[in-house]
Structure 1
Amino acid sequence: MSEYDFKKIEISLDQIVGALERLSPPPSQYPSFENHDAFVWNTAPDHLKPVIQVSRVELDLLVGIDRARDILLENTLKFSEGLSANNALLWGARGMGKSSLIKAVHQKIIDQGKSLKIVELQREDLASVSRLLDILRTSSQRFLLFCDDLSFSHDDQHYKSLKAVLDGGLEGALKTSSSMQRRIEDI
Structure 2
Amino acid sequence: MSDFSALIGRIDNLLDKVQAKWLSPPPATDWTALAWRWQASPAGGQLQALQYPHLIALESLQHVDLQKAEIVRNTEQFVHGYPANNVLLTGARGTGKSSLVKALLGRFAPQGLRMVEVDKQDLTDLPAIMECLRGRPERFIVFCDDLSFEADEPGYKALKVVLDGSLASSSDNALVYATSNRRHLMPEYMADNLELQRQSGEIRPGESVEEKIALSDRFGIWLSFYAFDQDAYLAVAAEWLRHYGISEFSDEVRRAALQWALTRGSRSGRSAYQFARDHAGRVGFAASRKSAGSPAA
TM-score range relative to shorter protein = 0.7 to 0.9
Give the conservation status (yes or no) of the 8 Å contact 1:118–1:146: yes
Aligned to 2:137: 140
Aligned to 2:174: 173
Give the conservation status (yes or no) of the 8 Å contact 1:40–1:121: yes
CA drift at 1:138: 4.9
Q: Deviations over 1:114-136 (max 9, x none)?
A: 00110000111111111111211
CA drift at 1:171: 1.5
Are 1:119 and 2:116 matched, yes or no?
Answer: yes
Counterpart secondary structure, 1:151: coil
Which one has the bigger helix percentage?
Answer: 2
- Say which one has the larger Rg: 2
**How much is the aligned-residue C-alpha RMSD, in angstroms?**
2.7
Give the conservation status (yes or no) of the 8 Å contact 1:39–1:118: yes
| 1:7-22 matches, cutoff 5 A | none
| 1:96-115 matches, cutoff 5 A | 96-110=95-109, 113-115=110-112
Greater displacement, 130-139 / 174-183: 130-139
Count how many residue pairs are aligned between Structure 1 and Structure 2.
168
Letter in 1 for 2:181: M
Q: Deviations over 1:122-170 (max 9, x none)?
A: 1111111111112112522211100000111133232111010000532
Gaps of 5+ in 1: 1-12
Which one has the bigger strand percentage?
Answer: 1
Give the conservation status (yes or no) of the 8 Å contact 2:56–2:106: no
TM-score in terms of structure 1 length = 0.79
Q: Deviations over 1:39-65 (max 9, x none)?
A: 001112400011111124211111110
| 1:1-187 matches, cutoff 5 A | 27-28=26-27, 30-33=28-31, 35-44=32-41, 45=43, 46-110=45-109, 113-167=110-164, 168-183=169-184, 185=212
Q: Deviations over 1:57-77 (max 9, x none)?
A: 211111110000010011011
Higher relative contact order (CA 8 A, sep 6+): 1
Aligned to 1:3: none
Gaps of 5+ in 2: 1-11, 186-211, 217-297
Counterpart secondary structure, 1:174: strand
